[in-house]
Structure 1
C-alpha cells in the first residue's frame, strides 16, 4: 500500500509541471471542495477557538494577566487551531468527496476508458484535485484564523473582562509573520496530503460499490494519521529552528 501511494505521489508531482494544465477541472474541483468545506469549517472553528481561548484566559486570569489574552489567542489560533481545523475539514469532507468521485469512476470503468484513449488519469483527474485541495486548504486556514481572532476578541473582552486595546496590542507579542507563514505552510501540506490520499484510494478502488465505501472510510483514517503526524513534525522542526 505504501509503495503504491509513493508511486501515486511521485506521478502527481511529475505531472504538475507538465502541459497541458487542466485549469477548468482545477477550478471546478476547487469550487466543489470549497462548497462542501466552508460550512463545516465555520461550524467547527467557532466552538473550537472559543474552547481553547477560554482555557488560556482562565490561566491568564489566575496570574492577573487577562489583558494578555490577545497573545494567547494569537498563538493558539495562528499556530495550531487554524491548521488543525483545516486538517479535520479537508480530510473529513474534501478528501472523502474526492475519493468517492474517483472511486465511482473506477468501478464504472471510466478510468480504464481514459487510459485506452491515451489519457493519463493522473494528469487529467488527480493533479487538478490535489492542487484544488491544497489551494482550498490555504483559504480555509485564513478563514479559520480570521474567525478565531474575532471570536477570541468577543469572548475575551465581553465575557472574561479583557481590555479591548490590550487584547489588540498584545496579539503580536508572541506571534508574527513567521508564525503566520508556518501556519499557512501547514495548511498547504495538509491539503496536499489529504488530496493525495483521497485520489490514491479512489483510483485503486476494488470490489464495486462496497469497495467505494471502504475506500472513503480508509481516506478519513489514513488522512488523519498522516496529517497529525505531519503537524507534529512541522511543529517540532519550526519550534527548534
Structure 2
C-alpha cells in the first residue's frame, strides 16, 4: 500500500513537469499546421490585393526607417572589426569584400526581420488579437469565411514583400556605411575596397540574402498571426501574445539563419575556389 501511495503522489508531479514541454510541442504543431495552410493558400487562391497593399504599406512605413538607421551601426561595427583583424594579419586589401559580404549575407536579412517583426509583426499580432477577443473571428467562421484565408494570408504575403524590399534597402545603406567607415575612418582606398569586393563576391551571395528575407518575412508574419489568433485572458492576453510573438520570431530567426548559412557555405563554392 505504501509503494502504491508513493507512485500515486509522484504521477501528478511528473505530469506537472511534462506539461510545459507537451504544451510547447502542441503549440508548435498547431503553428506548423497553420503555416502549411498559409503556404498552400498563397499559391491556390487569388491574392486579396486591397488587403495586401494596405498591409504592405503599413509594415513598410513602420519598418523602413528603423531598419535603415540600424543598418548604419551594423555596417560600421562589421567594417571596423574586420578592418582591425585584416590589418593584424596583413590583408587590408580584403577588408571591403569581407565587410560587404558580411553585411549582405548576414546583417541585412537579420536587421530587416528585426524591424519587420518588432514593428509590423507586433501590430499584426495586436490587430488579430483584438479581433479575436471581440469574437470577430468566431463570427467569420460561423458565416463560412476562413480567417486564415481572409486575414492571415494577406498579412503574411505583405510581410514577405516588405522584408524583400527592405532587405535591399538595408544592404545598400549598410554597404555605403561600410565604404564610408573604411575609406574615411580607417584610411582605406576606394579602389581597394571596390576591387576586393568584385573579386570575391558573386551573385549567389545576393540570392541567399533575398531567400533569407523571404523565409524570415514568412516566419514573422506567421508567428504574429498565429499568436494574435490565440490570446488568453482578454486585453492583457493580447499584450502578452504581442511580446511572445516578437520573442519567438527572434529565436526562430537566428536558428533558421544558422541552418541556411551552413547549407549555403556547404553547397555553394566560394568564388575562385
Same fold judged by TM-score > 0.5?
Answer: yes
Q: 1:52, CA displacement in angstroms?
A: 1.2
Greater relative CO (CA pairs within 8 A, separation 6+): 1
In structure 2, stretches of 5+ residues that fail to align are 1-26, 268-273
Q: 1:219, CA displacement in angstroms?
A: 0.3
Query: In the comparison of the two structures, how many residue pairs are matched?
Result: 241
**Alignment counterpart, residue 50 of structure 1, candidates 76, 95, 108:** 76
Equivalent residue, structure 2, for 1:71: 97
Alignment of 1:107-146 (within 5 A): 107-146=133-172
More moved, 9-18 vs 127-136: 9-18
Equivalent residue, structure 2, for 1:36: 62
TM-score, normalised to structure 2, is 0.85
Task: Name the SS for the 1:170 alignment partner.
Answer: helix
Task: Name the SS for the 1:240 alignment partner.
Answer: helix
Task: Name the SS for the 2:44 alignment partner.
Answer: coil
Task: Name the SS for the 2:176 alignment partner.
Answer: helix
Equivalent residue, structure 1, for 2:119: 93
Q: Deviations over 1:67-101 (max 9, x none)?
A: 32211112211111111112211221121111011
**Alignment counterpart, residue 172 of structure 1, candidates 198, 216, 221:** 198
In structure 1, stretches of 5+ residues that fail to align are none
Does residue 60 of the first structure (1) align with residue 52 of the second (2)?
Answer: no
Between the aligned partners of 2:31 and 2:264, the Cα distance in structure 1 is 27
Equivalent residue, structure 2, for 1:82: 108
More moved, 71-80 vs 9-18: 9-18
Between the aligned partners of 1:47 and 1:183, the Cα distance in structure 2 is 19
Between the aligned partners of 1:221 and 1:214, the Cα distance in structure 2 is 11
TM-score, normalised to structure 1, is 0.96
